[in-house]
Each structure stands twice: as C-alpha cells, then as structure tokens.
Structure 1
Amino acid sequence: MEKILDVKDLQINFDTFAGQVKAIRNVSFHLNKGETLAIVGESGSGKSVTVRSIMGLLANNAHVDNGSIDFKGKDLLKASPRELESIRGNDISMIFQDPMTSLDPTMPIGKQVAEPLLIHGSMSKKKAMARAEEVLELVGITNAKNRMKDYPHQFSGGQRQRIVIAISIVNYPEVLIADEPTTALDVTIQAQIIDLMKELQNKIETSIIFITHDLGVVAGIADRVAVMYAGKIIEYGSVDEIFYNPQHPYTWGLLNSMPTLDTSSDRLYAIPGTPPNLLNPPAGDAFAPRNPYAMEIDYEQMPPFYKVTDTHYAATWLLDPNAPKVEPPAAIKKRQEEYHQLVAEGKIQSSVKGGAKDGE
C-alpha cells in the first residue's frame, strides 16, 4: 500500500522546572493511503503529543530533538511556519477532544465551518457558505440550511462534535487526525460518531489517525493499531492481530480491562501500578515494574521489536527465543486460541511467513 505519512525516530522533550521530560522516545509509524491507524494507550503515554507534532501544534516548552515526519515527500519538521499553515486544515486536519473548546461561542456555526475554506483562499464566501451547508448535511446536522446561523450552545454534545468534524473535513483533507473525538460522549452517541467517520472516510477518501485510550472503540474503526506506553510504541499490527493475538503484557492488560459479555465479576481488572516518571526514564522496559512476567533483563535493557508476522511486531523480551514460556491470562489465551481457529478457517488473513521471532 502507498504510504501517505511516515514518522521515523521521533523524539520530543519538554523543558520543565523539574527538568527535561522525555515525552516521546524514538517513535516510528506510518499511515497508508485510505486506512485508519489507531494509536492506543493510557493517558500520558504520548499519543496526543505525537500527533500534535504532525500538525506543528506543540507547546512552547517542547522541542523535537530527533526524527522526521514525511508527508508526500516533505519533512514537516523542517517546514516553515507559512508552509505548515498552508498544510494545516487543508491537507492535514484535526478533530479535537472537546467540541466546546474547539468552537467559538460568539460565531454562528455556518461561518465556523466555512472559515477554513476562506483562510486557505480556495473559494469565494458565497461558495464557502454553500460548501459549509453541504458538509453539515453530510455529517448529519438536520435542517442544516436553517441552522447555519445558530450558535454552538444551541446544539447538543453529539451535534457539536459533528460540527467539529464538519470543520475538519470541509477542505477534504488527505489526512484526518482524530484526538479522542468520542471521549466526552455517551456510548450511543460514540457509536454514531464512529459510524459517521467510517462513512466520511469512504466519501472523501481520507486517511485517518485515531487516538484513543479505549480499545473497544478501536475495534469498530481501525485497520491497524499501534499501542503506546511511556512515550514509545511497544506493539503494532492489524486490528485482528492486536485484539486476538496480542503479545506484549501491557496489551494483555489493556484488553483484560475491557468489559465483555463473559465478565462475571463486579470489579473490572486494572493494571497495577502507575506509568514511570519520564524525567528519568528507566534503562529497560518501562512496563517492567507493572509486569507480572518481567525478567531480570527487563530492568536492564530495552527490548527490540520481535517479528510475530509480516505485519505484527512487539517489543517484549518474552518473544526472545531464549525466554521462558509463560501462560498469558486466561482471557488472552482464549483470544489467541480463537485467533488461530479463525486463521485456520480462513476467516482472518494471517501474514506469517516464517522467522516469527526475529528481531527487527
């Protein structure tokens, strides 16, 4: 597949009164044309900082110390402010988490949706307002023509999120970044927004990076998944591989914390402990203190990526050929058994081609 965005060895640090926070530590991933890549992890894992660097929206105390972000042959980290302004909201757009902080309470929503078209000078005001109405209808705002003059407070939470999506897609961007777009919504509205995004992706032919801490949301929208922890990507693969055949103990913990129809206990599983302090990142696997399967080497050396399939890699010493064999939690083992059964029946495409545990 054709890559539209390629992030390599990204390293971002924040200067604070307490010292330098090493927020993003050599992160690499790519986005293929027309696909949805989900980046998943706990709060503070570095998801939002990573995607904000693509848009050039980092805080003043942040600085990129290494890496590149290639978009259609141009390194965005080396782009001038003027070049970034021409790309931001036009070629690459972003949906933010809280619609009420994204929308101007003093401006009618029609003008807000049309604004990106006017800023980038792609059409006249009359045509921009007509496109705004068309896009508001596209995202499901009923009676869009009459509601163009309404203000954000006159809409429900779900409608406001649809308006924010309309603003982000009005220029038909090639890449759409969705930063936790459903977090503030109830489950029913969440499902509607997910369905809307999938529908829009097909209609405007955009590629999506979807940021979330909720693996349940990922299952309904993603093609591939990257799992982040403590500023690093620790596992990535197709959505089926991550859900049915996870390999990193952190991914096991995330999946175990999701309620299912088989959940019988009144209390959901929670990963013990807290993420490390990135003022002084650990030398080894950052997840080791919270990992019940941690070995001595986990505290001493950072694991490389081990190949599970051609599309699935995980950075855990458990995949080393010399590591002891461990039994994953019962729920994870059940998922893996289901995965192998589905592969055998041809319902899931496996890309295993031997050498499954070679380091990358």
Structure 2
Amino acid sequence: MPAPVLQVKNLSVSFQTYAGVVKAIRGVDFDLKKGETLAIVGESGSGKSVTTKTLLGLNAQNATVSEESQILLGEENLAGYEESDWDQVRGAKIAMVFQDPMTSLDPTMTIGKQIAEPMEKHLGMSEKEAFAAALALMKDVGIPDAEKHINDYPHQWSGGMRQRAVIAIALAAEPDVLIADEPTTALDVTIQAQIINVIKAQQKKRDMSVIFITHDLGVVADVADRVAVMYAGKIVEKGTVNEIFYNPKHPYTWGLLSSMPTTSTALGSLHAIPGTPPDLLYPPKGDAFANRNAYALDIDHEKQPPFFKVSDTHEAATWLLDERAPKVEPPVEIQKRQAFWQENFVKEG
C-alpha cells in the first residue's frame, strides 16, 4: 500500500497556565491516506481542535509539543518546526477551514484579494493571473455571479457565502491536506449540507485528503471514510465509518451514538452521558472515562488500557476487550446497531 500522506505519532501537547500544566493531548496516533476523509469526533474539550491546530503550528505561545511527537508530512517531521518554517506548509501543503467564517476573513480586504493572495505567495502567480484564478475558484465552490462580487468585502456576504470564500482560500494554493474544523457549526442546517457537498466535490476533483473535525455524528456518517473517537486528549477508538457506527466497542463511543437521536428513537428515551470530562491538569492514572462509565472495571481506575484489535481496520482502547474481562451487554441502542452490522456486513462479507 502507498505510504500515508500524513502520519501523527505519539503526539503530546501541553499548555502552561497560571494553575499549572494542562496535558491537553496525550499520545495521539493516526494516519491519513491520499484522497480519504478522516473524521475526528468527540465532546467539546476532547482535544480535536488542539490536535489539528498543532498540525499547522497554530497553538498559543504557552503550548509545548513533546520531543517524542512526530507529525510526518511525507518525510518531513513538522513537530520540530520553528515559526519561520511553517510559511511553506500553511496553505501550500496543509490548509484549514475554521468554524466561523466571519472571524476567518480579513474585513479590510476584498474577497477576491484574499483568495488570490495564497496563489501569489505559494504558486508564484502574478497579481493578474491570481485574480483570474481566484475568479475561477469562486465559481468552482458555487459562489453565484462571481464576477459581480469578487470585489465585495466579507460583511456584504451571508454566512454560507463567506464559508464558501474561506473554502476557496484554503484550496487556492492546492494543498495536499485540508483540515475542516467544524466548518458548518455557525451555519443553519440547509446551508450546512451545501457546504459539506462543496468540500466533498472539491476533495474528489483534487484527490485531496481531508481531516474533518466535528461533534455532530450525523455529519460524520455523510463525509467520513474512517473515524477516530477522542476523549480527554486521547484517541480511544478508530475504524472505518461503518465499524464505528454499527460495531462500536468503546463505552464512550456507545455513549456518543446512544445520545444521537434517530428516526427509531423512542419518545423520552434520549440518552446523555453522565458527568463531565476529567480535569487535564491532573489526568487520571487509569482510563479517563472510568468515572463516567457504567461498564467500568476495577482496572479502569488503575491502569490505562492499551488498544485491542477488533479487525485489521478497527481497534479500541478498552479493558472490556481483554480476554479476561467479563462479558457485558452494551446499551439497547448499540445492540440494535450491532445486529444491523451482523445482518448487513458480516453475513455479506
């Protein structure tokens, strides 16, 4: 198989605060293949955005990336980059679409100029060439009457149109990897679907790799090839989108899926995960989810679980998969999903 476009190995990120050192990311590993979409999901504060900002060197100045961390883009390890080194990566090799398009755009520059600027900087285009290419790219991402609006300012556009402009800026220098950090959060539902379709269409056209950050599992089902589930600064389960949705193994993933309403959800039966995530000033020595986990074993409070292999593409860090663990029945909602998995994937495959 070809080498991954991006490999993240043992990524650990901490923040020095007035209260002490916050261990925000604690040994994260994943890879990204050419042309695929990896979704990283989890509650707010699980470490999704810090992970992806680290891939672009965008964390605050009080952040420290451990010396053992590796962010391999091809053969380059970005983890040791200085600020001046990032100029050749941001936009040119890895680009990002942020949550709020209004705060992502410069209010003093025209939309066309903001799209053209990366082309001038990274592709060596003249101002005239970049302006023409920006106009074509505006049309490509579905901005109507692009010729009429290329000299508009961000405040003149709606949220959905501004997000299309942000996508165009991210694509301008033809990056290998696009990070979409909850790009639909600030938009209404109908516009969300349009923005997702724009990203998918551009990914297919450019054979680009995408990391999609979200807490909305409904979005994940529509965009992802593989899923990594994050909790308390660690990835706790990863697999193909079908494996995570229909055959999940980690109790945290069970909780996330059980809390997602479906057309078959009974009235008054919507599940919520009890409690709150741990304080990463003082990370627990065992499984970080143990205190919120109705299925926790004694060992969960004492020792962090390793990853247990479920299939060649699926693994989960839970002691419930240890051969010595007692057999437990997951929630009813998860049992229904696993029955669907058995009926439609195991029997067919």
The answer, yes or no, to whether TM exceeds 0.5 is yes
- Deviations along 1:228-281, one digit per CA (max 9) or x if unpaired, are 000000000000000000000000000011110012224632100000000000
Q: What is the match of residue 169 of structure 1? A: 171
Supply the AA of the counterpart residue of 2:277.
P
Q: What is the match of residue 24 of structure 2? A: 23
- How many Å separate the matches in 2 of 1:345 and 1:323? 27
- How many Å separate the matches in 2 of 1:267 and 1:183? 26
Q: What is the match of residue 5 of structure 2? A: 4
Shift of 1:205: 1.5
- How many Å separate the matches in 2 of 1:308 and 1:246? 10
Shift of 1:344: 3.8
Answer whether contact 2:255 2:272 (CA < 8 A) is retained: yes
- How many Å separate the matches in 2 of 1:124 and 1:80? 29
- How many Å separate the matches in 2 of 1:188 and 1:300? 46
- Identity, % of aligned pairs? 61
Q: How do 1:229-268 residues align onto structure 2 when only pairs under 5 Å count?
A: 229-266=231-268, 268=270
- How many Å separate the matches in 2 of 1:299 and 1:326? 18
Q: What is the match of residue 190 of structure 1? A: 192
- Deviations along 1:110-156, one digit per CA (max 9) or x if unpaired, are 00111111222521001101111111101100011111011111111
- How many Å separate the matches in 1 of 2:219 and 2:174? 24
Shift of 1:170: 1.0
- Deviations along 1:26-50, one digit per CA (max 9) or x if unpaired, are 0010000110000001010001111
- How many Å separate the matches in 1 of 2:252 and 2:346? 27
Shift of 1:191: 1.2
Q: What is the match of residue 302 of structure 1? A: 304
Supply the AA of the counterpart residue of 1:155.
W
TM-score, normalization by structure 2: 0.97
Answer whether contact 2:72 2:78 (CA < 8 A) is retained: yes
Give the match's secondary structure for 1:219.
helix
Q: What is the match of residue 328 of structure 1? A: 330
- Deviations along 1:47-80, one digit per CA (max 9) or x if unpaired, are 1111111101111000011310000100001234
Q: What is the match of residue 289 of structure 2? A: 287
Q: What is the match of residue 54 of structure 2? A: 53
Give the match's secondary structure for 1:176.
strand
- How many Å separate the matches in 2 of 1:12 and 1:78? 13
Give the match's secondary structure for 2:92.
coil
Q: What is the match of residue 149 of structure 2? A: 147
Alignment root-mean-square deviation, CA? 1.1
Pick one of 77, 84, 104 that aligns with 1:82: 84
Give the match's secondary structure for 2:195.
helix
Segments of structure 2 that go 5 or more residues without pairing to the other structure are none
Give the match's secondary structure for 2:136.
helix
Answer whether contact 2:122 2:173 (CA < 8 A) is retained: no
Answer whether contact 2:42 2:230 (CA < 8 A) is retained: yes
TM-score, normalization by structure 1: 0.94
Give the match's secondary structure for 2:69.
strand
Q: Which moved more, 1:148-157 or 1:261-270?
A: 261-270
Shift of 1:100: 0.5
Q: What is the match of residue 355 of structure 1? A: none
- How many Å separate the matches in 2 of 1:202 and 1:234? 29
Runs of 4+ in 1 over 6 A off after TM superposition: none
Supply the AA of the counterpart residue of 1:262.
S
Shift of 1:345: 4.5
Q: Which moved more, 1:148-157 or 1:79-88?
A: 79-88
Q: Which moved more, 1:297-306 or 1:262-271?
A: 262-271
- Deviations along 1:164-186, one digit per CA (max 9) or x if unpaired, are 00100011110001111011111
- How many Å separate the matches in 1 of 2:293 and 2:225? 28
Q: What is the match of residue 126 of structure 1? A: 128
